[in-house]
Amino acid sequence: MSISAKHVRFDNDSMWVLLSDGEELAVPLTWFPRLLAATPAQRDAYEISVTGLGLHWEELDEDISVPGLLRGQAARAGWVTASV
């Protein structure tokens, strides 16, 4: 079973993701420039995917993978993932 997101909250510097195992993951907003520049209302307008493995902000055109967060991956301009 994968660890999934249950809730997201923000403070001035971080995004906090409550995980299905009860842990809370803090991620620096500097990793995600769109979230960093967003208003509090825009940040709070997120959706958690049905599986709990994805976070989505429609207005900001931002998608974040929970497994990616757990691996410590920040958003990168032009980032492409590939199978090896």
Position 1 scores a pLDDT of 60
CATH classification of the domain holding 42:
3.30.2020.40
Position 78 scores a pLDDT of 40
Total domains in the chain come to: 1
Q: Which residues contact 26 (CB under 8 A, 6 or more apart)?
A: 14, 15, 16
Share of residues in the chain with pLDDT > 70 (%): 86
**Ordered mean pLDDT values, 10 residues apiece, the chain (84 residues):** 92 96 94 96 98 96 94 59 35
Is 24:16 a contact under the CB 8 Å cutoff? yes
The answer as to whether 24 is a domain residue is yes
Range of the domain at 46: 5-70
Is 5:64 a contact under the CB 8 Å cutoff? no
The answer as to whether 75 is a domain residue is no
Share of residues in the chain with pLDDT > 90 (%): 80
The answer as to whether 81 is a domain residue is no
What's the pTM?
0.83
